[in-house]
Amino acid sequence: MGVSAKKYNQRVNQMKVLIIGGVAGGMSAATRLRRLDEDAEIVIFDKGPYVSFANCGLPYYVSGEISNREDLLVQTPEALYDRFRLDVRVHSKVESIQPEEKTIRVNGPEGRYEESYDKLILSMGAEAIVPPIKGFEEVDNVYTLRNIPDLDAIMEQLETKDPKKAVVVGGGFIGLEMVENLVHRGIEVTLVEMAPQILPPLDEEMARFVENELKENGVDVITGQSAVAFEDKGNKVILEDGRVLESGLTILSIGVKPASTIAKNAGVELGFRDGIKVDENYETSIKDIYAVGDAILVTHQITGEDALISLASPANRQGRQVADIISGLNRKNKGSIGTAIVRVFSLTAASTGLSERQARLAGLNFEVTHTSAKHHAGYFPGATMVELKLIFEPNTGEILGAQAVGENGIDKRIDVIATAIKGGLTVADLPELEFAYAPPFGSAKDPINMAGYQALNVMEGQSDTVQWHEVEDLMADGWKMLDVRATDEVKNNGGFKDSLIIPLNDLRDRLDEISPDEKYIVSCHSGQRSYIAERILKQHNYDVKNLDGAFHLYKMIKPEAIYHG
C-alpha cells in the first residue's frame, strides 16, 4: 500500500492518524505529530504523485530562475519514511469518509480499499477556479498552475510549441508571478483582469504602482474585462468587449476555491464559499475529524468574521498546531490576518490586515495615511522609495492594515506592521519602535516611524487629511487647491488645474493672497511640505486640509486630471 506498509511494526493501543493531503498543512501536521508521538501510526494520502513540493516556487521554474526541477520537490515518500516513519501513499485518491465507522475509502495503485482511523486530518487545499468559458473543451494550450503536474504540462507546451504570445487571465499574486516569468522567458504577455484593478488585496492607488511597472516591462494590462470564449483550440482568447487576443499559451489564474467536496459529502459543516468550518481546536462539526490549510474558514483576527486565506504560512502553522492539539498540548486556532507579498520585476508589493476597501465593507471607522520615504538613508547610494499605506482606527489607534510598494525593504516594513497587529500594538507604538540603523540599512526615522507620526497627527487633530478619491467632490463643493511646491517643480511635473501656487518657503510672506473666506486643500509632492503648510495656515485660522499622499500619489492614480500648462 505505502512505502512503510511492510516495514511498520504495529504497536498495541497506538493512535492511528490519517491525513488526506500533503504539502504545507498535511506534512507539517505529520512531521510534528511524529516528533510528539513516536508510537502513532501516521498515514498520508495524496491523489497526485508528489506529497511535499514547493508550490510557491512553481512560477520561477518557468523562467529558469529556479533551474533544477528537483529543487521544487521538498521530500519524497522514501525520505519521509526513513526520517519520520511516515506511511505516505501517493496516487491515492480518497473517495469518501464514513464518520460513523471512522473509515475512509481510497482508490490507490492497488485498487480500492478502506482504512480506519482514530483521528482524521483534512488538508486537501484549494482547487483552481475554472469558469465556464465557451470553447474550453477544445483547447490544447490553456492551463492552471497548482502543482507539479500542472507545471510539467506548461513546460512541455513552452518547450515543444515555443509560443511567442501568452495570455494570463487573473491579476492576483500567482497571475503576476506567471506574467513576470513568462516575460523573462521572452514571451509577449497580455494580462486580463475582470476587476477594475490588478492585485485585489491592495487598494486601487497602491496597485497602480504595480500596473505601471508591468506596462514598463512590455506587458499589455487589460482591466475590467473577462475571457468569455476560446477559439482555434485556444489560440484565440475572446474578451467580453469583443477583443480577440492571440495566444500560444494561456494561464488561468482567476482564483481558488476550497477542495471541500469530500468533507461536504461526509456531513462536515461548511460555511462561506464552501470553506470547512473548524473550531478553536481545528476540529470540524464531526468529532475526531480535523481540518487545516486552504480549505478551512479562518477567523479574520481584525474583523472577527469568517475568511478564506489561502497562504502557505498559515497552513504550515495550522498543521503544526493541529498535531499539538491531537497530542494533548494546549494550542488554539487564533485565526489569521492575511499577510502576503509578491515581486513584479523590480517592484515588490505587500499587504497585511485589511485594505481600505475591506475596512469600508466591514463598516469600520477608519482613517488612512500614505507615507513616501527612502528605504535607507537618502544620502547613502542606492536609496529607493517605500510607498507605505496605513489603515487605522482613529479613536483607539488600532492598526487595521497596511500596504507597501517599492524596490527594496518592502518585506521588512510589512513584516513589522504584521507583527505589530498580531501583538496588539497601536499607531502610537510605531514611533517608539527601535530599528537597527546604519546608513546602508535604514533611516534614523524609518518609514514605519513616520507612518506612526502621521497617524498620531490625524488622531490628535494636528492634521485633517483628504484622500485622492475625495478631491473631485470637494473641489466641486467649492474647495480650492493650494500647491506649495516650487514654481519650476510644478512647471516641469504638472499640477492641479486652477490651483493657487505658493511655494512653502514663501507662504508666510504671501498669506494675503489666501482668502480667509475660502477652504483649501494643500498639496506638495509627497505630503511633507503640505503638512507644514497646513500647520502654518491653521495657526492663522485658515480652513485647510492636507492631501494625503499629495501630488505624487494623485498623479499616479489620476493622470488624466493633471494639468500641464
What does the alpha-carbon distance between residue 287 and residue 279 come to, in Å, rounded to a whole number?
11
Task: Give the strands of the sheet with 41-45, arranged side by side.
Answer: 87-89, 41-45, 16-20, 119-122, 289-291
- Catalytic residue, from 1, 36, 54, 56: name it: 56
Give dist(CA 409, CA 407) in Å, integer.
7
Pairing relationship of beta strands 41-45 and 87-89 according to DSSP bridges: parallel
Among residues 251, 247, 413, the alpha carbon closest in space to that of 341 is found at: 413
DSSP symbol at 301: T
Centre a 10 Å sphere on the Cβ of residue 329 and count the other Cβ atoms it contains. Answer: 11
Site of grid cell 469530500: 262
Residues 312 and 294: beta-carbon distance below 8 Å: no
Side-chain-facing half-sphere of 97: CA atoms under 13 Å: 26
Q: Which residues contact 5 (CB under 8 A, 6 or more apart)?
A: 87
Strand-pair partners of 223 = 193
Give me Rg for the CA atoms of the chain: 27
Class of residue 76 by CB neighbours under 10 A (exposed 0-12, middle 13-18, buried 19+): middle
**CA distances from residue 293 to 57, 106, 146, 177, 189 in whole angstroms, order as listed:** 18, 21, 14, 22, 32
- Residues 374 and 443 sit within 8 Å (Cβ to Cβ): yes
Residue with cell 495657526: 539
357: Cα separation from own chain's centroid: 14
> Residue 512: how many CB atoms within 10 A of its CB?
7
d(CA 120, CA 102): 8
d(CA 145, CA 168): 11
Neighbouring residues of 560: CB distance < 8 A, sequence distance ≥ 6:
none
Q: How many CA atoms lie within 13 A of 491 on its CB side?
A: 5
Q: Is 311 within 8 Å of 16 (Cβ atoms)?
A: no
CB 386 within 8 A of CB 447: yes
The alpha carbon of 209 is separated from its chain's Cα centroid by a whole number of angstroms, namely: 16
Query: For this structure, is 56 an active site residue?
Result: yes
Catalytic residues: 56
